[in-house]
Amino acid sequence: MTVEPYRPQPIETFQTPEKRQEMIRALAEVRQQFGRHYPLIIGGEKVQTQAAIPSTNPSNPAEVVGYAAQAGASEADAALEAAWRAFKTWKDWPQEARSRTLLKAAHIMKRRQRELEAWMVYEIGKNWTEAAADVAEAIDFTVYYAQQALKYTAKPPLVAVPGEDNESFYMPLGAGVVIAPWNFPLAILTGMTLGPIAVGNTVVAKPAEDTPVIAAKLFEILEEAGLPAGVANLLPGHGSEVGAYLVSHPKTRFINFTGSLEVGLKINEEAAKLAPGQTWLKRVFLELGGKDAIIVDETADLEAAALGIVQSAYGFQGQKCSACSRLIVLERVHDDLMEQVVERARKLVVGPAEENPDMGPVASEKQEQTVARYIEIGKEEGQCILGGHRLEGSGYFFEPTIFDGVAPQARIAQEEIFGPVLSVIRVPDFDAALEVANGTRFGLTGGVFSRSRERLERARQEFQVGNLYFNRKITGALVGVQPFGGFNLSGTNTKAGGPDYLMNFLHMKSVTERF
């Protein structure tokens, strides 16, 4: 098998008229397809249901992008059965053939790149570049895992002892459940599904309620790539119903979850209970929320810091687990820095995602209510120095918002808001900055802007996060470059897009023969 060395996909920024025209065409073509119905996919069969989940456009919620069939318990039973049936043969496919199937899927994604981006612009309100980054990451996960999977055919080296032959080898676990969030509705769903599949497992995937259409597009691609029936099964539905059912199911071998801390804790608890007939301990992977901080000290390049803060706080409307939601700034540079941050944030254009603004809408009515509630809390807990309002119009639009003078223990400095709201905390020195940065339950991403080598080296050891960035934005981890996953209550540190990720979905067998 000839394999090109893996390199992350470049992310399209639509600077040329040709690229802009491509996107305008894709948006028009996708709009023509609004309102279609998308079935469940169980064992390769397309299954319609009585109930349907409407997926709407957050820039204009009256528009229905598509309807997804809605799975319940009986469909979940059938999907797990189909996944176990497919496992019997998929586990024995030569690794090269499995990897080739994924590489083919990646090629189809590249061919349909603009179209996939356009679906996410409409379905979840990403601007064009955010949508392009999502598709690029999905392609990256697919290629990277296809290649990484090849290494597990090699047997680990063992110590030889006289009179015995010893060998160890890796085997896939079985049929697992993937439960995905809406905020990277293609990339995260793709990575969580194709990682386990790459090394011989099979999967039942439940996308988020708000993004079933882009999930259906991924499954069209997997079918075209020739992934055998039942290896990946698609089960849109409500998390508290079919999601919870799949988690508790005795036939679920592993759970690959990305989402909120609240739901992650429930899953952790339910998955630990032994269901009647269950004969294994479920492996549970949880990648959860963040309350991510950037520290800026008095030695920093303030212009670079202001740029990195604004990019990290407001990219995709702050709806990234990696988003900067706390700015921890040393008193001495507070005023100069804030002047630049406010100036940059004030210029951000907010509007319908299809017009490619800096910021589109927040994702849903639920998000709208959460962000509005925290803005009200913020007005009690800090001084609103920018924004603080929902914008007029039918879409879920908010101004970029900044609260200054926030106490480290304030709710807006401790709880994940998941919206375009930044809390600014002033500290006297770098010791205090690190203490505040580490003073939440989370530990996902973090950043430091400083020219002090000593402080950067200290932060390298003491800043308790899974992904730490110096002198740049804290979002946009690249597959294979910055393995992604948090510390503390941000998750189980699965490290998506990392060289050890696929080990999570394998177990090792050791065989000894006495001569």
Ligand X SMILES: NC(=O)c1ccc[n+]([C@@H]2O[C@H](COP(=O)([O-])OP(=O)(O)OC[C@H]3O[C@@H](n4cnc5c(N)ncnc54)[C@H](O)[C@@H]3O)[C@@H](O)[C@H]2O)c1
Contact positions toward ligand A1AUG, by CB under 6 A? Answer: 183-184, 320-322, 475-477, 484
For ligand X, which is the closer residue by CB, 320 or 426? Answer: 320
- Per CB under 6 A, contacts with ligand X among 195-214 are 206, 208-209
For ligand X, which is the closer residue by CB, 259 or 361? Answer: 259
Q: Which tokens in the block code for residue 258?
A: 């990305």
Q: What is the largest CA-CA distance in the chain?
A: 80
The entry of ligand A1AUG, ligand X, none near residue 475 (CB within 5 to 8 angstroms by kind) is ligand A1AUG
**Least Cβ distance, residue 215 to ligand A1AUG (angstroms):** 16
Q: Which tokens in the block code for residue 124?
A: 């979840």
**Least Cβ distance, residue 113 to ligand X (angstroms):** 21
* Beta bridge mates, 41: 46, 234
Query: Which amino acid, residue 233?
Result: N
Q: Is 180 in the site for ligand X (CB under 6 A)?
A: yes
Q: Is 362 in the site for ligand X (CB under 6 A)?
A: no
Binding pattern for the stretch 409-448 against ligand X, x by CB under 6 A and - elsewhere? -------x-x-------------------------x----
* Beta bridge mates, 293: 326, 446
Active site residue 63: no
Query: From residue 2, how far is each of 121, 297, 318, 346, 513 by CA, in Å?
Result: 35, 48, 40, 50, 36
Q: Is 182 in the site for ligand X (CB under 6 A)?
A: yes
For ligand X, which is the closer residue by CB, 14 or 442? Answer: 442
Query: From residue 182, how far is each of 9, 189, 214 by CA, in Å?
Result: 22, 9, 10
**Least Cβ distance, residue 437 to ligand X (angstroms):** 17
Closest CA to 497 of 202, 183, 138: 138
Out of 146, 321, 330, 478, name the contact with ligand X by CB under 6 A. 321
Out of 491, 492, 502, 504, name the contact with ligand X by CB under 6 A. 491
**Least Cβ distance, residue 188 to ligand A1AUG (angstroms):** 7
**Least Cβ distance, residue 286 to ligand A1AUG (angstroms):** 13
- Half-sphere exposure for 453 (CA within 13 Å, toward CB): 0
The entry of ligand A1AUG, ligand X, none near residue 180 (CB within 5 to 8 angstroms by kind) is ligand X
The entry of ligand X, ligand A1AUG, none near residue 260 (CB within 5 to 8 angstroms by kind) is ligand X
Q: Is 289 in the site for ligand X (CB under 6 A)?
A: yes
The entry of ligand A1AUG, ligand X, none near residue 476 (CB within 5 to 8 angstroms by kind) is ligand A1AUG
The entry of ligand A1AUG, ligand X, none near residue 477 (CB within 5 to 8 angstroms by kind) is ligand A1AUG
Out of 26, 235, 288, 302, name the contact with ligand X by CB under 6 A. 288
Query: Which amino acid, residue 33?
Result: Q
Over the Cα atoms of the chain, what is R_g? Answer: 23
For ligand X, which is the closer residue by CB, 327 or 489? Answer: 489
For ligand A1AUG, which is the closer residue by CB, 71 or 215? Answer: 215
CB 70 within 8 A of CB 209: no
Residue with tokens 């998506």, as numbered in its chain:
496
Query: From residue 222, how far is each of 2, 21, 205, 492 by CA, in Å?
Result: 21, 28, 13, 28
Q: Give dist(CA 503, CA 416) in Å, integer.
A: 30
Number of residues that bind ligand X (CB under 6 A): 32
Query: From residue 69, how far is each of 66, 100, 213, 463 by CA, in Å?
Result: 10, 30, 10, 44
**Least Cβ distance, residue 354 to ligand X (angstroms):** 22
Q: Is 475 in the site for ligand X (CB under 6 A)?
A: no
Closest CA to 249 of 274, 231, 286: 274
Q: What is the DSSP letter of 243?
A: I
Q: Give dist(CA 170, CA 173) in Å, integer.
A: 10
Q: Is 315 in the site for ligand X (CB under 6 A)?
A: no
3-state class (DSSP) for residue 256: strand
Out of 41, 146, 179, 199, name the contact with ligand X by CB under 6 A. 179
Query: From residue 161, how far is each of 154, 165, 301, 442, 510 by CA, in Å?
Result: 20, 8, 59, 46, 14
For ligand X, which is the closer residue by CB, 172 or 259? Answer: 259
For ligand A1AUG, which is the closer residue by CB, 459 or 477? Answer: 477
Closest CA to 333 of 311, 312, 309: 309
**Least Cβ distance, residue 251 to ligand A1AUG (angstroms):** 29
Closest CA to 414 of 325, 474, 309: 325
Q: Give dist(CA 154, CA 95) in Å, integer.
A: 11
Would you tell me how many other CB atoms lie within 10 Å of the CB of residue 244?
Answer: 17
Binding pattern for the stretch 225-244 against ligand X, x by CB under 6 A and - elsewhere? --------------xx--xx
* Region of 50-58, 178-186, 344-352, 377-385 interacting with ligand X (CB under 6 A): 178-186
Q: Is 89 in the site for ligand X (CB under 6 A)?
A: no
Q: Give dist(CA 134, CA 115) in Å, integer.
A: 12
Q: At 199, phi and psi to the nearest 5?
A: -105, 20
Among 75, 117, 209, 287, the one annotated catalytic: 287
Q: Is 177 in the site for ligand X (CB under 6 A)?
A: no
Q: Is 290 in the site for ligand X (CB under 6 A)?
A: yes
What amino acid positions are annotated as catalytic residues? Answer: 287
Q: Which residues bind ligand X (CB under 6 A)?
A: 179-184, 188, 206, 208-209, 239-240, 243-244, 247, 258-260, 263, 266-267, 287-290, 321, 416, 418, 444, 486, 490-491
